[in-house]
Every structure is written in structure tokens, then in C-alpha cells.
Amino acid sequence: LYQISNIFIDFIGFKGLDTEEDIEIKFIEIKTGKSRLTKSEKRIKEAVEAKRVEWKTIKINELPEVEEI
């Protein structure tokens, strides 16, 4: 089960994408003042640092019909 709602990462950056070298992917969270990472953000940070990251490609063959309201 994958949860996406209520968890926000402000930016994902790609360093070196414009070269033929290996790229680096950066998860970027912006905080101001005395704000801190939430419990979920800390867990995401820990998973990334521990390299528990995976690529998923989801192919959708047909879009569902949308009913006009």
C-alpha cells in the first residue's frame, strides 16, 4: 500500500541531468523560522538516507471515462 496524500516533499532536484555523467537526485524540503520536519518527513528522510528507495513505472492503457457534472 502506497500513501501519497498528506505527505509533501517540496522539490525533487536532478543534479547532472544535462550531462552524460551519473546524476544525483535530491529530495528538498523547505522550512522557515523554527519549523521542523514532521514525523512522516523524518521517516522519508531516513528511508532515503538508508537507500530504501525504489523506482516504479505504472502504465495506464486507458483513461477512465469522466462524467460531466
Query: pLDDT per residue over 12-57, tens digit each?
Result: 999 999 999 999 999 999 999 999 999 989 999 999 999 999 999 9
- Kindly tell me if the per-residue pLDDT of 58 is higher than 60: yes
Query: What is the spatial distance between Cα 30 and Cα 46, in angstroms, rounded to a whole number?
Result: 17
Cell 528511508 belongs to 47
Closest CA to 47 of 32, 37, 58: 37
- Kindly tell me if the per-residue pLDDT of 1 is higher than 80: no
How confident is the model at residue 14, as a pLDDT?
93
Q: Which amino acid is at 25?
A: I
Q: Is the pTM of this model over 0.75?
A: no
How confident is the model at residue 50, as a pLDDT?
98
